Amino acid sequence: MTCKINRSTMLRYFTVLLFFLFSVSLLYTQEEYKEIINNDSSFTNEKPHRVVKTLNKKTKKNKPKNIILLIGDGMGLSQVYAAMTVNGGQLNIAQMPYTGFSITTCYDKYITDSGAGGTAIAIGKKTYYGALGVDAEAMPSESILEIAEKHSLKTGLVSTSAITHATPASFIAHQKSRNMYEEIANDFLNTDIDVFIGGGKKHFIQRKDGRNLLTELKTKGYQVGEKLTDIEDLKRPYAVLTDSVHTPKYPHRGELLPDATDMAVKTLSTGKKGFFLMVEGSQIDWGCHQNNTDYLLLETLDFDKAVGKALEFAVKDKNTLVIVTADHETGGMAIVGGNFEKHTIQAKYASTKHTAVMVPVFAYGPGADCFTGIYQNTDIFKKMKLLFGFK
């Protein structure tokens, strides 16, 4: 028996297939940074930045009023040392006097993703791969941001990804999957977070349920803008959604990350009882996924400028703990050559995915000595909670 298919039928099949592939591509728009592999292996830094000075003084106070947690997504020791090399041997991160190591494994896998990795830091519990703000049984658990909020501290999130992406969302959302972007956006309306800056505007306004969450935010008293300069009153809550999904990579987005960090700190420091702020350098991870040395180092250097803004405030304030860490390492980066004077680095990679290697934790300010040694990523939450004095 011979089966004949005419041209019009074939055309219909082909059209359906194209539509299906297009639909799938839309579903994974937030994760497209993982798909393009670029094996660049060298980088020269044309514009080294200055670092904050006189930071190696150890503080005697044990209890901070404020905590600024900065997460370099995918940033392991190799990424830090490579950035240090191309910046002439100097980084703001390198000025921090206390260092430890965090074990990043999640509940059900040896190698974590950013959802489970961010959640472990945010809620202090290991969870399954891809989870967001829930424990291993998929039950919601309060984050350090939400606990701080309950104790009348001001709170904020800053990210160079969509604000609904895994790491920032870990601190405010409670969803079974990190891919539930519209549900994650809903969760921002369930808190009284004072400041959030990042991409992801699409998930607030282009929704299946027809809601416009930006209008609802305005009703709650938030200022809403697309640029930092859109915010007129730094004493009132605000949301700055800088892009439809993710912000452009550095340098195309300009000094958005350090400027947003500085602006958030100025707003949150007006609170009498203190504040908690999480800042993410999201795209270090994306450069590592691509094995793109230029991309990951430009992002790491940009992240270090944001660290500098946090440290400048902490040095003057004397009541602020600054913590710098990562949710996991990406790429298995190995430094195979470099030159401090020429600001160059050569690198090779073991993977285009996340790895299981421990990541560094750097700390400065009151309570910073609690972050030395080797410990689970969940302990970062526990240490912050203890130092804030929350029961």
Which positions are annotated as active-site residues?
Answer: 114
For residue 323, give both structure tokens: 């913590």
Nearest-5° Cα angle at 385, 381 to 391: 135
Closest CA to 363 of 325, 315, 316: 325
167, 188, 209, 211, 280 from 215: Cα distances, Å: 25, 13, 14, 9, 26
Residue 373 burial class via C-beta count within 10 angstroms: exposed 0-12, middle 13-18, buried 19 and up: exposed
Euclidean distance between CA atoms 135 and 125, whole angstroms:
6
β-strand partners of 99: 362
Phi, psi (degrees; rounded to nearest 5) at 154 = -80, 150
* Chain centre distance of CA 239: 17
Residue 252, SS3 per DSSP: coil
Strand order across the beta sheet in which 66-72 lies: 223-225, 238-241, 195-199, 154-162, 275-281, 66-72, 320-325, 359-364, 98-103, 373-376
Q: Tell me the HSE value of 150 on the side-chain side, using a 13 A CA sphere.
A: 12
Closest CA to 276 of 191, 166, 377: 191
For residue 285, give both structure tokens: 């991870």
State the DSSP code for 352: S
Start-end of H helices in 96-180: 114-123, 144-150, 166-169
